[in-house]
């Protein structure tokens, strides 16, 4: 298992009151599952999918700066020292 840093941005940082949390896991899904089991009750329902085990599609998850949608999503393997980022997609003008 790889030790990784989950960086919390915007709404996630405000709800959890932390800038980052360290986790161990083999895949992004492992880390997200741990995060949601510990903190899911602190998040708005709109951020989660129907079964509350994954994030809604408008939540941005980055692995070392790359959107996981262009990798293997939640099945993407992790390496020691990887950086994950959780953010909410914002738009404006």
CATH number at residue 47: 3.10.20.30
20-54 pLDDT, tens digit each: 999 999 999 999 999 999 999 999 888 988 888 89
Share of the chain above pLDDT 90, in %: 80
Write down the residue that tokens 């085990």 correspond to. Answer: 53
Q: Provide the number of structural domains found in the chain.
A: 1
Q: How far apart (Å, rounded) are the C-alpha atoms in residues 93 and 39?
A: 32
Q: How far apart (Å, rounded) are the C-alpha atoms in residues 73 and 87?
A: 15
Residue 93 domain-assigned?
Answer: no
* pTM of the shown model: 0.92
Q: Of all helices (H) and strands (E), which one includes residue 25?
A: strand 20-25
- Domain membership of residue 61 as a residue range: 2-88
């Amino acid at each position: 298992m790889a030790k990784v840093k989950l960086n919390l941005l915007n709404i996630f940082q405000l709800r959890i009151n932390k800038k980052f949390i360290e986790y161990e896991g083999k895949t992004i899904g492992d880390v997200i599952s741990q995060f949601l089991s510990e903190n899911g009750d602190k998040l708005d329902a709109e951020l989660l999918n129907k079964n509350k085990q994954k994030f809604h599609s408008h939540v941005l998850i980055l692995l070392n700066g790359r959107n996981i949608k262009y990798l293997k999503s939640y099945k993407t393997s992790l390496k020691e020292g990887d950086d994950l980022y959780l953010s909410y997609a914002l738009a404006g003008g």
